[in-house]
Amino acid sequence: MARRRTGPTEVVRQLVHSRDGGQCVRCAAGHGLTIHHRVNRGMGGAQEEWINQSHNLLLVCTVCNSWFEDHPRESYENGWKVRRPQLPGEVEVLYPDGRLYVLDPEGVRRSTIEPAGAGR
C-alpha cells in the first residue's frame, strides 16, 4: 500500500526555498534546512487546503525548528508559528533582516514596514 503524502509538493518546496533565500528565516543558517509548517498539520495531516501552501511554510534549519517547539511564546510573537484559527497569510513573520513580512500562497513576501529613509 502506498503511503499518502501529507507534505508540500516539490514545486511549493522550491518556492519556499527561493522566497527565503536558501537560508533559515530565524538565524540565516544555510545548512541543515527543512520546511517548517507555521500552523501545525495535526495528526495524519490536515484537511485545510492551505496547510501545505507557501504562506504557511518557512525554510528553517533543524536547530531553529526545534527551538520553535521549545520557545512557543517567542515563536508565535514573531510569526514563525501561527495559532489556529488565525490564517498564516494574516500573520507577519520576522526575518533575519529585522523586517516583518506578510507571505502569500504564490511564494512572495511583502515587507510591512518601510525601511528607514525611504520615501524621502
Average pLDDT of the segment spanning 42-65: 86
When divided into structural domains, the chain yields a total of 1
DSSP letters, the chain, are -PPPP-S--HHHHHHHHHHTTTS-TTT---SSEEEEESS---TT--S-GGGGSGGGEEEEEHHHHHHHHH-HHHHHHTTSS--TTS-GGGS-EE-TTS-EEEE-TTS-EEESSPPTTTT-
Any domain includes 94: yes
Q: What is the pLDDT of residue 112?
A: 82
Average pLDDT of the segment spanning 83-93: 94
Segment 6-19, tens digit of pLDDT: 789 999 999 999 99
Q: What is the pLDDT of residue 114?
A: 58
| Domain assignment of residue 38, given as a range | 10-111
Any domain includes 119: no
Any domain includes 28: yes
Q: What is the pLDDT of residue 45?
A: 53
Q: What is the pLDDT of residue 120?
A: 40
Backbone φ and ψ of 109, nearest 5° = -115, 140
Any domain includes 55: yes
pLDDT averaged over the chain?
A: 89
Q: Does 37 have pLDDT greater than 60? A: yes
Any domain includes 117: no
Any domain includes 68: yes
Any domain includes 31: yes
Any domain includes 45: yes
